[in-house]
Amino acid sequence: MLKIALDAMGGDKAPGEIVRGALEAVSSLTVEVMLVGLDGPIKAELNKYPANNRISVVSAEDTIDMGEHDLAREIRRRPKASINVAMGLVKSGQAQGVVSAGNTAAVMTSAFFSLGRLEGIERPAIGIVLPFNEGRVFLIDAGANVDCRPSHLVQFAKMGSVYMEKVVGIARPRVGLLNNGEEFGKGSLLLQEAYEALSKSGLRFVGNVEGNNVHKGIVDVVVADGLMGNTALKAGEGVADYILQEVTKALKTHPLYALLGKLFKPTLRRALGRLRYEEYGGANLLGTNGVVVIAHGRSDAVAIKNAIRLAVDAAGSSLVETMRSAFAASELAAAGN
């Protein structure tokens, strides 16, 4: 059975909701969870529930000061911090993936430091599964990288394609480049060069895609630098919040609305929830030598369970191995040129 190392100390609601998330995961998924962190607090939480032999505790007795100015140095100086110990379990093969609701930059730094990058990938990136209708679209990079080069965007596109093919099961995923217009020649110099490079990449590149078409199901992978990708993701969340707020206000204007609202709000919340990666699952850190899922800092037990599911999906479909050979093959091809 797959084992996932769960950083029990990461996140606003750690360790309580993290421990509960682990329990929800093992009861609904085929997985074992290794809770990594301070022994005492984890066991105090676990003792509130019946014992479960798919849950284990791995002690990690150091903590990271998130207020530290040089977070990267702090991560390297604290090998026994929970996030580093969790990564170590993946590196040694004791676990097949890591889930953490800790600070994104801290998780990324720990992954680079402990697992390293896959050969041929200059910049690991964050990929998010977004919904459309009944389908899914993969947005990469959702915020890890700024000041990208065209070759980085091609690598993001390739990582996204491997993800959609192996984990979601889409054959020959269609790749679109996030831009401010559909036509060839739109966008910055970076985007124009990336367009050219994607056209020659061997990927199924279908051209530019505008922000309003991300959720339309016309592409399977949306590639962007971390600034545009993050903007697309976050602006969508902002609009969803705004709509929910307007609807809530409208439901208060008449007693009948309130009654109907009770029936309908769960449906609306479900539609909106699919837009939030923190509820729907988590962010996939792609390009490092292991499965890493970053859950939102605010994650509750359900969000943690969903993040574990993402890690299980990735580990169970040999994502990292496929990614490694895909990039190794392209290195060979490039060397043969």
Q: Which residues bind a copy of itself (CB under 8 A)?
A: 131-133, 143, 146-147, 178-181, 187-189, 191, 210-216, 224, 226-228, 230-243, 245-247, 250, 253-254, 256-257, 259-260, 263-264, 267-268, 270-272, 274-275
Count of other CB atoms within 10 angstroms of residue 193: 15
CB of 78 to a copy of itself, least distance (A): 21
Polymer length in residues for the chain: 337
Looking at the Cβ atoms of 60 and 140, the one nearer to a copy of itself is 140
CB of 235 to a copy of itself, least distance (A): 4
DSSP 1-47: --EEEEETT-STTTTHHHHHHHHHHHHHSS-EEEEEE-HHHHHHHHT
CB distance 143 to 233 below 8 Å: yes
Compute the distance between CA of residue 46 and CA of residue 52 in angstroms, rounded to an integer: 9
- SS3 sequence of 119-171: CCCCCCEEEEEEEECCEEEEEECCCCCCCCCHHHHHHHHHHHHHHHHHHHCCC
Looking at the Cβ atoms of 26 and 125, the one nearer to a copy of itself is 125
Looking at the Cβ atoms of 156 and 327, the one nearer to a copy of itself is 156
DSSP letter, residue 288: B
CB of 242 to a copy of itself, least distance (A): 4
CB of 264 to a copy of itself, least distance (A): 6
Looking at the Cβ atoms of 111 and 148, the one nearer to a copy of itself is 148
Looking at the Cβ atoms of 271 and 333, the one nearer to a copy of itself is 271
CB of 62 to a copy of itself, least distance (A): 25
